[in-house]
Homo-oligomer: A and B are copies of this chain.
Amino acid sequence: MAIATKTGVTSGKRARTKAANRQAILAAARQVFARIGFDATTIRDIIRETDLAAGTFYNYFRSKEEVFEAIADQSTRRFRPLLQTVREQATSFEEYISAAYRAYFSFLKAQNEEAVRDGAPHMALIGVRVDTPEMHAIFDEIRIDLEEVARTTNISLEDSEFLTAAAIGIAREIGDHMLKRRPADVEGATRFATTLLLDGGKALATYGEKDPAPSAH
């Protein structure tokens, strides 16, 4: 009889298998992408890993690219609550930046380990990298956070959009390089990124000495 809920979701069997099928396709796609890579993957490769028929795929996604985006979207969605926590707990600009980087690098490390466990050859991770609407939402969220934290700490930012872009650029690139170093050092990456974003490269360098002895807390 299918009871309609507030959200418009029905509890009938129809709706349940629909959700299950979607998830099955996404899970299968994850596996196959990890195993043989996005380019080599065909839609039939994906559907073969489920108990569905070829045509059914097209009831859920228009193309391979759309599945990919949906997976990236899932990843991004899982990151947002972490950012939410960071926002709620930060009491200063420094704290926000530091905690946000830590959250991202931890998340990245976890995602990477999961992908490797799933049989990804090496670092073929579908990350929080693709240009999805969800990613744009994160960008705006961070920008607004920065503005807000700056405002409450009586700071004026010159250009919050550029600052956000830079913060994200640093996160992406340092994140990649962090993963290449085994074991991935989340704290080290966090400290570096935070110091750089706040105080710049000069704070990470020492003048007139042979060995570096920077402090960044």
Per the bound structure, the CA–CA distance linking A166 and B172 in Å amounts to 9
**A184 interface contact, C-beta 8 A:** no
Which of B159, B166, B193 meets A173, CB within 8 Å? B166
Instruction: Provide the residues of chain B in CB contact with A212, threshold 8 Å.
Output: 156-158
**A192 interface contact, C-beta 8 A:** yes
A75-93 toward B: CB 8 Å interface, digit per residue (1/0)?
Answer: 0000000000000000000
| Chain A 129-175 interface residues, beta-carbon cutoff 8 Å to B | 150, 154-159, 161-163, 165-166, 168-174
| Chain A 198-214 interface residues, beta-carbon cutoff 8 Å to B | 198-212, 214
Cβ B196 vs Cβ A166 within 8 A: yes
Cβ A163 vs Cβ B207 within 8 A: no
- CB within 8 Å for A171 and B169 given contacts A154-B208, A158-B204: yes
Residue of B nearest to A198 (CB): B200
**A14 interface contact, C-beta 8 A:** no
Cβ B201 vs Cβ A197 within 8 A: yes
**A39 interface contact, C-beta 8 A:** yes
Residue of B nearest to A146 (CB): B201
- CB within 8 Å for A150 and B205 given contacts A156-B212, A159-B192: yes
Instruction: Provide the residues of chain B in CB contact with A155, threshold 8 Å.
Output: 205-207
Per the bound structure, the CA–CA distance linking A158 and B209 in Å amounts to 12
CB of A138 to closest CB in B, whole Å: 13
Cβ B204 vs Cβ A157 within 8 A: yes
**A113 interface contact, C-beta 8 A:** no
Residue of B nearest to A213 (CB): B156
**A69 interface contact, C-beta 8 A:** no
CB of A59 to closest CB in B, whole Å: 22
**A118 interface contact, C-beta 8 A:** no
CB of A189 to closest CB in B, whole Å: 7
Per the bound structure, the CA–CA distance linking A74 and B120 in Å amounts to 30
